[in-house]
Amino acid sequence: MTVSLPEVTSVLGSRSVWVVPKASAADADELTIADLTAGFKATCYIYGNGGTITGEQQRGDAPRKLCEVTTRQKIGTVNESISDIQYSYKPQADDADEANDMKAAMTFGDTVYLVDRLGVTDSTAPTISHFFNVYEVELGYQNRTQTGDDDQAEYSITQGASVISTAYDLQFAAS
Amino acid sequence: MSDLVRARHEGTDYTMSRFWAKRLGAEIIQSPTLNADGTRRGPTSADSGRTAKPKTTVAKSAAAKTADSATTEEKN
């Protein structure tokens, strides 16, 4: 019997992240490729795999009916959260410096869209045929951190955020 | 939140960072970024100062209306 494995997509170098201001669109599905281009491409600032969404599914036991001898589980609410984002910055420069663009784009208290594209080489320009995941988030405090304690460590900012809404597998119009 | 400003972009006033105001070419205006209760101030109309209505298109409104009427028919 022939074993036929489904096609898979390598993670390495195939994730791109853009930061787009809330002023660009009232809703995630109204974003366009032009909005992405006018936004800020953050891929080369972000370390590791930050900014991934988790939907924690709550479950509960349904009230037992008189005829029931077993417990029924019911699906409850979903608590969406986003993992901390760690990105590089230049401590000895102000926000006008290109090295601090990500720091300036992610100002504490601002609401932005984080647009995630998976499975396409980062150097590929976004097009109307690509699928995007969009996370509308309110940005938290920018903690000054470092990537580690070894001789390769770099200064970084680690920032949490709260999720306002998520939308998956969106395709954007050109403009 | 001291780095946030009020900026006018395409007829609507938004609370945003200076970075985005500059990048979008929005005009920074002297207006509070927070409401009286300390919450973040949402988008307002540049003309009236009232809460800005979400922008929509004819196609989107029609789709919403169709979906609404379909739900009503199901109820009936």
* Interchain contact, A30 vs B55, CB within 8 Å: yes
Residues of A within 8 A of B27 (CB-CB) are none
Which chain B residue lies closest to A27 (C-alpha atoms)? B54
* Interchain contact, B24 vs A21, CB within 8 Å: yes
* Interchain contact, A107 vs B19, CB within 8 Å: yes
Q: How many Å apart are CA A79 and CA A67, to the nearest integer?
A: 33
Q: In this prediction, what percent of chain B has a pLDDT beyond 90?
A: 36
Facing B19 at nearest CB: one of A38, A105, A111: A105
* Interchain contact, B43 vs A110, CB within 8 Å: no
> Is the pLDDT assigned to residue B76 strictly greater than 80?
no
Mean pLDDT across the stretch A90-119?
95
Q: What is the mean pLDDT of chain A?
A: 94
> Is the pLDDT assigned to residue A5 strictly greater than 60?
yes
Q: What is the pLDDT of residues A21-60, one digit of tens each?
A: 998 888 898 999 999 999 999 999 999 988 889 999 999 9
> Is the pLDDT assigned to residue B54 strictly greater than 70?
no
> Is the pLDDT assigned to residue B58 strictly greater than 90?
no
Q: In this prediction, what percent of chain A has a pLDDT beyond 70?
A: 100
Which chain B residue lies closest to A101 (C-alpha atoms)? B19
Which residues lie below 8 Å from residue A86, measured CB to CB, with a gap of 6+? A46, A47, A48, A50, A145, A147, A156, A157, A158, A159
* Interchain contact, B26 vs A95, CB within 8 Å: no
B40 CB-side CA count, 13 A: 19
Q: What is the pLDDT of residues B24-35, one digit of tens each?
A: 999 999 999 988
Q: What is the pLDDT of residue B49?
A: 79
Cβ atoms of residues A17 and A43 within 8 Å: yes
